[in-house]
Amino acid sequence: MIAPSDATVVIVTWNGAQLLPACLDSVLPQGAQVVVVDNASADDTLQLLNDRYPGVRVVRSMSNSGFAGGVAQALAVVDTPITVLLNNDATARDGWLRALLEEVDSPEVAAVSSKLLLPDGLLNSAGGYVTHDGYGHDIGFRETDHGQYDAPTEVMYACGAAAAFRTAALRSIGGVDPRFFLYYEDVDLSWRLRLAGYSVRYSPAAVAVHQHSASTGAGSLLHTYYTERNRLATLVRCATAGLACRAVLRYPLTTLSVALFESRAKARVRVRAYVAFLRWLPHLLADRRAVQVRVPRAQVQQQFLTPRCPTGQISQ
């Protein structure tokens, strides 16, 4: 049985001094080591950590490397078998860590997603899934929680806001890609774990409360830029050639539709994201060739991609 002392909880923060006390106070009693990556905050984060949390290991980044970059820096110093990610705007319920560790105890399991609730009690995530057009979604997003997701199960990806990973498995597939900065790094990571033959699970007993997108704002133009760019990047690296090509070629038409019927500002951001993706594309194609594929890409998609989002909402 994996003990809490065998886990390191990684919390990435940027100007989040107002969020950290609730997060840390919920985690520290659960027995894991804790690493906070500070992404060059300009607020009182470092002073707070020094004064109130001297037992927490702090990794200082010289610039804002985003969530993905922060996790990548933390992985370089983690020396426990299990790495647990927790957003700085999340608080863990009692028993959260032990429930994650119980689910990740089998060697074939590389990742376990928590049950995430929003502050109003609605569901944030019961693990994640990907639709046939390549969009990542939180299962149950903004549904009333009446026990419909209270059975442990396989999921396509573990939501990075609160999830446990086998450290060795992460390192064996190349870890978290810091170039993702924000969003879809959890989809990309879990997809690569599945291609490498690992299982990704959901634990309903591991409960945390999450202020969804407290730092960046769901639906913001920043959110649009990184979700669109990183979705295409994930598909090029992980999906079948057919799915990746369809998504890349369809993107300009979708952007035109956004400009005509939704928002020209959002369409301009989508264009910027597409240009950034195209510049990244040669490196992504090289990454694709380097991905460990023990389970065929088509098999992963057939098993775990679904036709559409039931709620019609894209939560990534």
Nearest one of 221, 233, 247, 67 to 159, comparing CA atoms: 67
Other CB atoms within 10 A of residue 134 CB: 21
Instruction: Tell me, yes or no, if the pTM score tops 0.85.
Output: yes
Do the Cβ atoms of 300 and 292 come closer than 8 Å? Answer: no
Longest dimension (CA), the chain: 56
Tokens linked to 210:
């999450």
Percent of the chain exceeding pLDDT 70 equals 95
Is the model's pLDDT at 52 over the cut of 70? Answer: yes
Domain ranges of the chain: 7-210, 221-291
Q: What angle do CA 179, 243, 239 make, to 5 degrees?
A: 50
Other CB atoms within 10 A of residue 194 CB: 25
Task: State how far Cα 167 lies from the chain centre.
Answer: 15
Question: pLDDT tens-digit profile of 289-316?
Answer: 999 999 999 999 999 999 865 443 444 4
Q: Give the sign of the dihedral formed by CA 196, CA 12, CA 114, CA 167.
A: positive
Question: pLDDT tens-digit profile of 165-208?
Answer: 999 999 999 999 999 999 999 999 999 999 999 999 999 999 99
Do the Cβ atoms of 178 and 68 come closer than 8 Å? Answer: yes
Dist CA 56 CA 36 (whole Å): 7
Beginning with the edge strand found earlier in the chain, give each strand of the sheet holding 305-306 in spatial order: 136-138, 128-131, 305-306
Question: pLDDT tens-digit profile of 22-48?
Answer: 999 999 999 999 999 999 999 999 999
Q: Is 3.30.160.270 the CATH classification of the domain at 7-210?
A: no
Question: pLDDT tens-digit profile of 258-297?
Answer: 999 999 999 999 999 999 999 999 999 999 999 999 999 9
Is the model's pLDDT at 77 over the cut of 60? Answer: yes
Tokens linked to 226:
């990184």
Is the model's pLDDT at 20 over the cut of 60? Answer: yes
Is the model's pLDDT at 66 over the cut of 90? Answer: yes
